[in-house]
């Protein structure tokens, strides 16, 4: 009966290991290649009641890590992250996070709904508010 033998050189084993690690690294980078996107809320108008912000956000898909940048006149406006009730009633809830710099940047965490409005009830009622959710 004939005997077959497979000869593996010990010099090829490290190369196989390196190639396997490289393939895993590249596969991981391909599946997680999306870099965070910065959205300028309101576009050229900025954070302003001239356009309803829910209209601006409609059709956009926000991902965890994306950044919302709000440009506004800090003397007359602000940005507030509120809860759902605050969003619906245009009344800031206790613990709402207020931004007053005129150039607020909010990074979106995964899975949370973000309700964003302003302290001015008339501007909020006019549409200076939005509800968004970041997906993975």
Query: What domains sit in the chain, N to C, each tagged with a CATH number?
Result: 38-135 (2.60.40.420)
* Torsion angles phi and psi, residue 97, rounded to 5: -95, 125
Residue with tokens 């991981």: 28
Of the two residues 76 and 13, the one the predictor is more confident about is: 76
- Going by their DSSP bridges, the two strands 38-40 and 79-82 should be labelled as unpaired
Q: Report residue 10's pLDDT band, with 50, 70 and 90 as the boundaries.
A: low
Of the two residues 29 and 41, the one the predictor is more confident about is: 41
The pLDDT score that the predictor gives to residue 9 is: 55
110 pLDDT more than 90 = no
The pLDDT score that the predictor gives to residue 2 is: 59
129 pLDDT more than 90 = yes
The predicted model scores a pTM of: 0.72
Query: How far is 73 from 124, CA to CA, in rounded Å?
Result: 15
Task: Give tens-digit pLDDT for 42-57.
Answer: 999 999 999 899 899 9
28 pLDDT more than 50 = no
Query: How far is 3 from 55, CA to CA, in rounded Å?
Result: 75
E strand or H helix at 81, and its extent? strand 79-82
Of 85, 62, 81, the closest CA to residue 70 belongs to 81
Length of the chain: 136
16 pLDDT more than 60 = no
């Amino acid at each position: 009966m004939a005997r077959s033998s497979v000869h593996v050189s010990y010099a090829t084993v490290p190369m196989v290991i390196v190639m396997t690690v490289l393939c895993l690294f590249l596969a991981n980078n391909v599946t997680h290649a999306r870099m965070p996107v910065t959205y300028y809320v309101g576009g050229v108008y900025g954070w302003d009641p001239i356009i309803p912000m829910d209209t601006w956000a409609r059709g956009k898909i926000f991902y965890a890590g994306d950044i919302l940048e709000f440009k506004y006149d800090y003397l007359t406006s602000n940005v507030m992250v509120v809860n759902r009730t605050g969003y619906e009633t245009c009344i800031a809830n206790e613990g709402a996070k207020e931004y007053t710099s005129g150039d607020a940047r909010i990074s979106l965490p995964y899975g949370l709904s973000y309700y964003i409005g302003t302290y001015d009830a008339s501007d909020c009622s006019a549409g200076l508010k939005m509800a968004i959710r970041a997906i993975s």
